[in-house]
Structure 1
């Protein structure tokens, strides 16, 4: 026994598409959010609108893109050289080094402005000559220079008392520049035979050279410490004797 169900007939429109009333209405696309453009800003705002490409003159003609023009190059001309910004003055270093070459006529006026650029160059030169001699002593030489500077600073200020006007930076600069005779000695030791009396005689001459130059500079920079010249000379002699022994052996 069959049972019949009343099913309403399905009616399709004549165009073959469902009725427009059953479709969901599509949302109209809206423009993306854009922040307000300040009227006083000189920086060009990059829009995301799809439109004609921005011209090169409009994009790079503002204050940001003036690097290629004559006004941008004028800014670089006004800047100081890189060595001057780093505090390295080659002419001043050469004058100070040249004043050490004559131990009898040391010019203390050149060394009033202490620096560490010249001592670092002499330190690297001494390490290079020691390396050519087969001795790797970078840390030893640097440590001795630091200890020597502190030793000379303490000795001199103990002698001068409250009137001491020499700071640690000036002591380090003087010790470093007066290393020039030791650097020349290390270069000469490369051509002299080992375990010879000539090496000791030449080393003694260079030690006296460095001692006299450093003593003259220390006394002159302290302004009026002539009475302590002998003790300062003894301290400088000990310092450069150690460096010369390091070079000889």
Structure 2
């Protein structure tokens, strides 16, 4: 009986200690090991005055010992100075200083006129610097003119004109590459042979109004063949520095222009 009462007494004493500790537990402000840490509540934040004019703390603080931080960006872009002596800055800045469109395309009417005069006058010395250009504007015009005049005479030979021209240029290019010590391009050969086709255009124009199937027509055709071959050989020897070989170059040229003459006469 006494032991039972002593157990009940110990139980009530423990409950009293717990009740005494409970209000202390809820009323405390997180005091742990005598270290004061005041609790933060939203009511305190609402009553706190905020100074908006104060500068905000820096987000990034470089670590010490890692060198100096980069300088702040000032908004200036680095622009290298132009060197007037280089080719990179020789382009024009205004539309007035730009070259004409025909010159950019490689069409020079002055050179076309000079080459035409050289062909029309077989005895005039040829300028090798001008004739060495691969200008195909004049040759294409003369080929179209030859086909158009043949068409007016009732002969549809556009395919023959283009085919014979291409094969003739290729054959003469191979021959001149073997005979000359100076390098020559296929475009240069085609340009010279095309310009020298101008007298043949005159022959085909004459054939529109008169028949060439006679003695006079044959003589006139032979004269035009000699004219074309002489002009072409003169230009080739001036361009390729083949002095004393004009007759050797004129013979294959005469064969080529003879085929055009046959198309015109018959």
TM-score normalised according to structure 1 size: 0.65
Q: Where does 1:16-27 land on structure 2 (aligned, <5 Å)?
A: none
- Report the CA distance shift for 1:194/1:176 in structure 2 as closer, same or farther (over 3 A): closer
Q: Which runs of 4+ in 1 moved over 6 A?
A: none
Residue 113 (structure 1) aligns with: 133
- Greater mean alpha carbon deviation, residues 79-88 or residues 119-128: 79-88
Residue 63 (structure 1) aligns with: none
Deviations 1:3-56 (A, max 9, x none): xxxxxxxxxxxxxxxxxxxxxxxxxxxxxxxxxxxxx9xxxxxxxxxxxxxxxx
Does the aligned pair in 2 maintain the 1:120–1:176 contact within 8 Å? yes
Structure 2 residue 163 is matched with structure 1 residue 146: no
Residue 247 (structure 1) aligns with: 264
- Residue 169 (structure 1) aligned to one of 187, 191, 202: 187
- Greater mean alpha carbon deviation, residues 115-124 or residues 151-160: 151-160
State how far apart, in whole Å, the 2-side matches of 1:142 and 1:106 are.
29
- Report the CA distance shift for 1:228/1:107 in structure 2 as closer, same or farther (over 3 A): closer
State how far apart, in whole Å, the 2-side matches of 1:237 and 1:193 are.
22
- Residue 104 (structure 2) aligned to one of 69, 74, 85: 85
TM-score normalised according to structure 2 size: 0.61
Question: Which protein has the larger Cα radius of gyration, Structure 1 or Structure 2?
Answer: 2
State how far apart, in whole Å, the 2-side matches of 1:212 and 1:195 are.
24
Residue 213 (structure 1) aligns with: 231
Count of aligned pairs: 174
RMSD: 1.8
State how far apart, in whole Å, the 1-side matches of 2:209 and 2:106 are.
36
Give the superposition deviation at 1:75: 4.5
Residue 48 (structure 1) aligns with: none
- Residue 177 (structure 2) aligned to one of 147, 157, 163: 157
Could you tell me which runs of 5 or more consecutive residues in structure 1 were left unpaired when the two chains were aligned: 1-39, 41-73
SS at match of 1:190: helix
- Residue 134 (structure 1) aligned to one of 154, 163, 175: 154
Does the aligned pair in 2 maintain the 1:106–1:213 contact within 8 Å? no
Residue 30 (structure 2) aligns with: none
Residue 248 (structure 2) aligns with: 231
Residue 26 (structure 1) aligns with: none
- Report the CA distance shift for 1:205/1:194 in structure 2 as closer, same or farther (over 3 A): closer
